[in-house]
Structure 1
Amino acid sequence: MIFIFRILLKIDALYHTFLNRASLEVAKYRGMKVGKNFNMPDKVYFGTEPYLIEIGDNVNIAGDVRFVNHGGTTTLLRRLPGYEDARILGRIKIGNNCTIGLNCVIMQDVQIGNNCILGANSVLSQSMPDNTVFIGNPAQFL
Structure 2
Amino acid sequence: MAKRILAYVDRRRDPEGYARRIGVRMGKGCRLIDVEFSTEPWLITLGDRVSATRTRFETHDGGVWVFRESDSDIDIIKPITVGSNVFIGYGTIILPGVTIGDNVVIGAGSVVSRDIPSDSVAVGVPARAIKTFDAYRDSTRAAADPTKSLNPKDKRAYFEKKYCKV
**TM-score normalized by the length of structure 2:** 0.68
Gaps in structure 2 of 5+ consecutive residues: 1-7, 131-166
1:92 aligns with 2:80: yes
The alignment partner of 1:20 has SS state of helix
| Residue 32 (1) aligns with residue 20 (2) | no
Q: CA deviation at 1:138?
A: 1.0
Q: Deviations over 1:62-108 (max 9, x none)?
A: 2x11111111112212212xx22101101000001110000000000
2:62 counterpart (72, 85, 94)? 72
Alignment-derived partner of residue 50 in structure 1: 41
Percent sequence identity over aligned pairs:
34
Give 1:20's match in structure 2, choosing from 12, 28, 34: 12
Rg: which structure is higher? Answer: 2
Higher relative contact order (CA 8 A, sep 6+): 1
Retained in 1: the 8 A contact 2:16–2:30? no
Tell me if the contact between 2:11 and 2:18 (Cα under 8 Å) persists in the aligned partners: no
Give the AA of the match of 1:36. K
SS of the aligned residue for 1:99 comes to strand
| Partner residue of 2:98 out of 103, 107, 110 | 110
1:135 equivalenced with 2:119 (yes/no): no
Residues matched between the structures, number = 123
TM-score (normalizing by structure 1): 0.79
Output the aligned Cα RMSD.
1.8
The answer to whether the 8 A contact 1:28-1:50 is kept is: no
| Letter matched to residue 79 of structure 1 | E
